[in-house]
Amino acid sequence: MIVETVNRVLRRVPPWAIYAAAALWAAWMFYLGATGGLGVEPIEALEHAYGERALQLIVLGLAVTPLRRFLGINLIRFRRAIGVTAFFLVLAHFAVWAVLDVQSVSRIWADIVKRPYVTIGMAAFALLIPLAVTSNNLSVRRLGAAAWRWLHMLVYPAALLGAVHYVWLAKGFQLEPMIYLGLILLLIALRFPALQARLAS
Amino acid sequence: MAGRYRSPLTRDDVTPKSLYLNRRQIMAGSGALLGAGLIGGRAQAQDLQPNSWEEITNYNNFYEFGTGKDDPARNAHMMTTEPWSIQIDGLVDNPGTYSFAEIMEGMTVEERIYRLRCVEAWSMVVPWNGFELADLLERVGVQAGARYVAFETLNRPEEMPGLRFPVLEWPYREGLRLDEAMHPLTILATGLYGEPMPNQNGAPIRLVVPWKYGFKSIKSIVRITLTEEQPPASWNMAQPREYGFYSNVNPNVDHPRWSQATERRIGGGLFATRQDTLMFNGYEDEVAGLYEGMDLAEFF
């Protein structure tokens, strides 16, 4: 019952609404940061807001298939929009870090090379670039469905690196980054056929 | 003995109360402050204007109330600070449990406008009110064998929601070498901007060691112990490779996960430029002698 209602409501939502909502949200956060609405340290606040939202969207994107398989909730129409939006938020997160936070090319480079949590964050970002570039029907046709699907498996290492990036930059033992890492590990584990079969039976 | 240190920053450099209570009014009043600074001829003081009350009390690391920067401002009201006492023990002539009033007896509270540099590479300037730790230590009588001072923060789970999480091994602990503790820059602060210490800043009494990273300046102190051996310190216990016992501000020794060469001054908004971090947080003339002959990369 609930699942049917959810699916019925979802069918009425156009996928572009996700792009629009994310763009409005990102712009609104930037406006808040520039006008004192994000507290006394807006650079860090904005950086974290974009990064954490990107991670949430990556978790949601990974959850699309399990949600359909195990609960019957169909988000498949939104998956591309979720993924591309996550990429743009990672890009915004990177831009705030590079331009507003670190502020110099030499320091950006030094951080990427010397700081492991920055290195893996950059690696995750780099892995998402080919996915964002090929997230269109033309690319699916050009690459062929099999190759395209194979390429898009890169989202698993990217998600994992993103979560580890968050765990690694936290001071002390903190719960929130661990929850993201746990969710992503769980969502990846659900892909293993053996586990799927066991859960489906 | 009070007054051993005089800050180059003075009362005139502190935002007047009527202004700091409201950021918009500060913006309006900045012209007047600039004028006052020029007349006073304090060129250095101008770029070291203390942060506003709002900034100092809304951006805190006090993990007993949560790990978010705004968690302490939201949760610290739950902490009871009256009555308050500090247990002073170890190698002292007069050990015992001293009430807050007993501790304050005969102490000269002065204003000390200090830079505060967090290990996370952000900084503020804070107008503290407090007295020199040396005055208290002299009163309780430090015995000959004592070489270190250990401090402990209040550990009261029913009033400190962050204690439910094992972010660190509670209670929060810190320590200083005795000569660092006796240095005239080292104070026990009981207020800021002439007001009683807000809970989120470590009420009712906290340590301030301005040449060390902020986490050394332990908040809401309930115990002070004079020891012969170097005492355990919470961050050092959690990550000895990242947080040394000394943790002196040093732009040349990076944290393993980030650079310490520059810092972001809180209050500059979204487009603030980073500034260079100063050796010993700008107190090199006063404290470099404490570490003569020590390799600061090894004893970080």
Kindly identify which residue of chain B lies nearest to residue A46, measuring between CA atoms: B270
Residues 6+ apart with CB under 8 A from B196: B190, B203, B204
Write down the residue that tokens 């990672």 correspond to: A90
Average pLDDT across chain B, whole number: 88
Nearest to A121 by CA among A31, A189, A55: A55
Distance CA(B216)–CA(B212), nearest Å, equals 6
Q: Inform me whether the pLDDT recorded for B15 exceeds 60.
A: no
Residue B128 lies in a domain: yes
Residue B36 lies in a domain: yes
**Nearest by CB: B273 against A36, A103, A107:** A103
Contacts of B235 in chain A (CB under 8 A): 172
Domain count along chain B: 1
Residue B155 lies in a domain: yes
Q: Are B258 and A111 a contacting pair at CB < 8 A?
A: yes
State residue B168's pLDDT score.
93
Kindly identify which residue of chain A lies nearest to residue B66, measuring between CA atoms: A174
> The CATH number of the domain where B142 resides is what?
3.90.420.10
State residue A1's pLDDT score.
78
Contacts of B271 in chain A (CB under 8 A): 34, 100
Q: What is the mean pLDDT of residues B149-173?
A: 96
Distance CA(A183)–CA(A167), nearest Å, equals 13
Distance CA(B114)–CA(B201), nearest Å, equals 14
Q: Are B59 and A117 a contacting pair at CB < 8 A?
A: no
The residues in B 240-299 lying below 8 A from A, measured between CB atoms, are 254, 257-259, 262, 264, 266-267, 269-274
pLDDT, tens digit, for every residue of B242-282?
999 999 999 999 998 889 999 999 999 999 999 999 999 99
pLDDT, tens digit, for every residue of B176-204?
999 999 999 999 999 999 999 999 999 99
Q: Are A40 and B55 a contacting pair at CB < 8 A?
A: yes
Residue B3 lies in a domain: no
State residue A85's pLDDT score.
98
Write down the residue that tokens 């804070």 correspond to: B126
pLDDT, tens digit, for every residue of B70-102?
999 999 999 999 999 999 999 999 999 999 999
Higher pLDDT, B40 or B261: B261
Work out the pLDDT band at B5, boundaries 50, 70, 90: confident
State residue A172's pLDDT score.
80
Q: Are A173 and B166 a contacting pair at CB < 8 A?
A: yes
State residue A79's pLDDT score.
96
Beta strands B262-265 and B122-132, pairing class: parallel
Q: What is the mean pLDDT of residues B48-75?
A: 94
Please report, for residues A70, A124, A126, A151, the alpha-carbon distance to residue A155 in angstroms, rounded to integers and kept in the order given: 21, 9, 11, 9
Work out the pLDDT band at B2, boundaries 50, 70, 90: low
Residue B5 lies in a domain: no
Residue B6 lies in a domain: no
What residue ranges of chain A have pLDDT lower than 70?
Answer: 194-196, 198-199, 201
Is residue A131 within 8 Å of A155, Cβ to Cβ?
yes
Q: Inform me whether the pLDDT recorded for B11 exceeds 60.
A: no
Kindly identify which residue of chain B lies nearest to residue A100, measuring between CA atoms: B271
CA atoms within 13 A on the CB side of A38: 23
Kindly identify which residue of chain B lies nearest to residue A168, measuring between CA atoms: B257
Residue B110 lies in a domain: yes
Please report, for residues A171, B51, B197, B215, B230, the alpha-carbon distance to residue B125 in angstroms, rounded to integers and kept in the order given: 23, 6, 16, 15, 30
Please report, for residues A156, B140, B215, B226, the alpha-carbon distance to residue B178 in angstroms, rounded to integers and kept in the order given: 53, 14, 18, 8
State residue A201's pLDDT score.
64
The tokens for B20 are 């700091």
Note down the domain range covering B149: 11-291
Note down the domain range covering A75: 2-200
**Nearest by CB: A115 against B67, B238, B257:** B257
State residue B37's pLDDT score.
36
Work out the pLDDT band at B109, boundaries 50, 70, 90: very high
Q: Are B270 and A42 a contacting pair at CB < 8 A?
A: yes
Contacts of B69 in chain A (CB under 8 A): 39, 41, 44
R_g over Cα of chain B:
19
Mutate to test the interface with A, among B257, B259, B262 (most CBs of A within 10 A): B257
Q: Inform me whether the pLDDT recorded for B144 exceeds 70.
A: yes
The dihedral region occupied by B175, where left means phi > 0, alpha psi between -120 and 50, and beta the remainder, is beta
State residue B42's pLDDT score.
35
Work out the pLDDT band at B7, boundaries 50, 70, 90: low
Q: Inform me whether the pLDDT recorded for B145 exceeds 70.
A: yes
Distance CA(B20)–CA(B30), nearest Å, equals 11
Q: What is the mean pLDDT of residues B36-64?
A: 71
Residue B296 lies in a domain: no
Distance CA(B171)–CA(A115), nearest Å, equals 30
Domain count along chain A: 1
Instruction: Work out how many CB contacts closer than 8 A connect A with B.
Output: 68
**Nearest by CB: B69 against A41, A43, A175:** A41
Q: State the burial class of residue A74 (Cβ atoms within 10 Å of its Cβ: 0-12, 13-18, 19+).
A: middle
The residues in B 169-228 lying below 8 A from A, measured between CB atoms, are none
